[in-house]
Amino acid sequence: MTDAISEDLFLAPDQKSWFAHDRFGMFIHWGVYSLAARHEWVKSREEIDDAGYRRYFDNFDPDLYDPRDWARRAKAAGMKYVVLTAKHHDGFCLWDSKATDYKATNTSYGKDLLKPFVEAFRAEGLKVGFYYSLLDWHHPDFPIDIYHPLRNREDAAALNAGRDITRYGAYMREQVTELLTGFGRIDVIWFDFSYPDRTYKGLPGKGRKDWQSIELLSLVRRLQPEIVVSNRLDLDDLIAGVPDVMTPEQYTPRTPPRFKGREATWEVCHTFSGSWGYYRDEESWKSPEQLVKLLIDSVALGGNLLMNVGPTGRGTFDQRAIDALEVYGDWLRLHGRAIYGAGRSSFTAPDGCRFTQRDDRLYLHIYNWPFQHLHIDGLAGKVAYAQFLHDASEVQWIGPRNDPHFVPPVGATTLTLELPVKKPSVVVPVVELILK
C-alpha cells in the first residue's frame, strides 16, 4: 500500500471555516448539452459520437447570457457561494483554454464565459468555485470505458489503441493551472469523479493512477493554498487526516457523514428536478416544502447544501428554476439565522421536527404541525425565551406537570410549547429557543 498522503495537502478546520458557516451554495451545470435539453449526460446516454454531438457546439450561442442576473438571483435566494461547470464530462470548456479548441470562444458566441461569471458573482459578495470533470469524452487520449459514448462499438477496444491517459493527465493539469491562475482567487474546485472498480466489457474504470491524483492535488495546493477541494480524486484510503469536504450526492444522509470515524466537513448536492443540466421536459420538480427541508436537513446534521440550477441554451434560468430560487429567498429572508453559522445540536428534536443550533440559540424546525402542544424532552428549565422566527411573536410553554389533560403525564425534563392551532403561513415554521 502507498504511504499516506501528507496532511499538508488538505485544509485545517480554520482554513475552511467560511464554508461550514455559509451552509448554502448554488451549483450550475451549463454547457452545449443545454441545447439538447434532455440531460447533461445525453452524449453518453444516447451514445452520440463526436460527429453527431457537433451540432450542439455549432449552434451554441447563449445570446441572453447575463451572469449579473444569475448572481443577483443566487444572492436573493440566500446562497453564499457558487460552483460552475467549467468543464463537464463532454469536454466542452466555458473559458478560452489554450489547451483545446473545444471551447466557448470557438462557438458562434465567440466569447469567454468564465471571466464575466467570476466578476459578476464576486460583485455580489459570493465566493466562487469551479467544477472540473476528470472525465472527457471529447479528448482523443481519454480511453473508452463504462461511461464513454463509444463503449458499445464493436471496435471499442481497437479504438483505445494509442490513447494515452498520461498525456490526458498532463492536459488536465494544464487546464487546472489555467483555471487557478487566470481568474484570481478561487474558493472551491469540485473534481468529479472516480470509478476504479467499475468495468464494462473488459473496459476498465478510472481512478487515482489514471488522473495522477496526487500530482494534480499537489498542483492545486501550490496554486491556491486555501482552496476547498472535493473528495472525488480516489484518494480517501491514502489520506492521513480528513478530506477538505465530503460530497454525498442526491440523497439526504441519515447521520452526519464521518471519515474513518472522524468528524468531517461535508456538503450534499441536489437538483431542483431529476437532471443537473437543463431538461425541458423534466416534470419531477421538487415542491417548496421539499426544497426547504433539504436545506434544513443538511444543516441539522452539520452539513451544507449545494443546490443546482441548469440554465437554458440561451443562457437564462427558466421560470421553474426562478420560482424555486424564490422559495429559498422568501424563507431564508425570515429564517436565515437558523441556517448561517448554525449546525448540529446535541439536543434531540421531537418527531417530525429538526434542530439546528448557533451558540445559545436553538432553532426548532417544525415539519409536521401538531395540535396546540409540542413536547420537547430534555429542555425543561433550560429555555429563557421562545419566539417564532418569522415574526418574533412569543411562544409560551408549560413545564413538567402531572396534568390529567396529558396522558401519559409530561416527564420531569420535558418542555411543552403551546402553539397556535393554525400553522403560520411559512413553508416550514421555526421556533427560536433562547437558552439560559
Residue among 84, 284, 271 at smallest CA distance from 179: 84
What SS3 class is residue 434?
Answer: strand
Q: What are the angstrom distances between the C-alpha of 41 and each of 54, 198, 239, 248, 252?
A: 15, 18, 31, 19, 23
Q: Quick check: is 26 in a domain?
A: yes
DSSP secondary structure string, 371-399? SSEEEEET-TT-EEEEEETTT--B-EEE-
CATH number at residue 18: 3.20.20.80
Cell readout for 16 is: 475552511
Residue among 340, 232, 320 at smallest CA distance from 271: 320
Element (H, E) at 71: helix 67-76
- Give pLDDT, residue 407: 57
Cell readout for 178 is: 489555467
Over its length of 436 residues, how does the chain's per-residue pLDDT go in tens digits?
456 798 899 999 999 999 999 999 999 999 999 999 999 999 999 999 999 999 999 999 999 999 999 999 999 999 999 999 999 999 999 999 999 999 999 999 999 999 999 999 999 999 999 999 999 999 999 999 999 999 999 999 999 999 999 999 999 999 999 999 999 999 999 999 999 999 999 999 999 999 999 999 999 999 999 999 999 999 999 998 899 999 999 998 999 999 999 999 999 999 999 999 999 999 999 999 999 999 999 999 999 999 999 999 999 999 999 999 999 999 999 999 999 999 999 999 999 999 999 999 999 999 999 999 999 999 999 999 999 999 999 999 987 665 666 655 677 899 999 999 999 999 999 999 999 9
| Torsion angle of the four alpha carbons 217, 218, 223, 228, in this order, in degrees rounded to the nearest 10 | 40
Residue among 27, 39, 20 at smallest CA distance from 77: 27
Based on its alpha-carbon atoms, the radius of gyration of the chain, rounded to whole angstroms, reads 24
- Give pLDDT, residue 1: 41
| Phi, psi angle pair for 394, to nearest 5° | -60, 140
DSSP secondary structure string, 11-59? --GGGGHHHHHH-EEEEE--STHHHHTB-TTHHHHTT--HHHHHHHHHH
Q: Quick check: is 239 in a domain?
A: yes
Q: Are residues 227 and 133 in the same domain?
A: yes
Looking at 310, 338, 366, which one is the last position of a domain? 338
Q: Are residues 155 and 132 in the same domain?
A: yes
DSSP secondary structure string, 167-215? HHHHHHHHHHHHHHHSSS---EEEEE---TT--BTTB----HHHHTHHH
How far is it, in rounded angstroms, from Cα 343 to Cα 359?
Answer: 10
Beta-strand relationship, 383-388 and 430-435: antiparallel
Q: Quick check: is 305 in a domain?
A: yes
CATH number at residue 378: 2.60.40.1180
Q: What are the angstrom distances between the C-alpha of 403 and each of 29, 283, 382, 418, 419?
A: 57, 50, 21, 15, 18
Element (H, E) at 131: strand 127-133
Q: Are residues 292 and 371 in the same domain?
A: no
Q: Are residues 282 and 171 in the same domain?
A: yes
- Give pLDDT, residue 4: 79
Domain count, the chain: 2
Looking at 281, 304, 338, which one is the last position of a domain? 338
List the Cα angle 116/117/121 in 5-degree steps.
Answer: 115
Q: Are residues 389 and 294 in the same domain?
A: no
Q: Are residues 112 and 217 in the same domain?
A: yes
Q: Are residues 160 and 59 in the same domain?
A: yes
Domain range for 254 is 7-338
Q: Quick check: is 57 in a domain?
A: yes
Q: Quick check: is 13 in a domain?
A: yes
CA atoms within 13 A on the CB side of 30: 31
Q: Which amino acid is at 127?
A: K
Residue among 28, 168, 172, 31 at smallest CA distance from 103: 31
> DSSP character for 322?
H
151: left (phi over 0), alpha (psi -120 to 50) or beta: alpha
Q: Which amino acid is at 308?
A: N
List the Cα angle 428/256/270 in 5-degree steps.
Answer: 55
Q: Are residues 226 and 280 in the same domain?
A: yes
Q: Quick check: is 1 in a domain?
A: no
Q: Quick check: is 32 in a domain?
A: yes
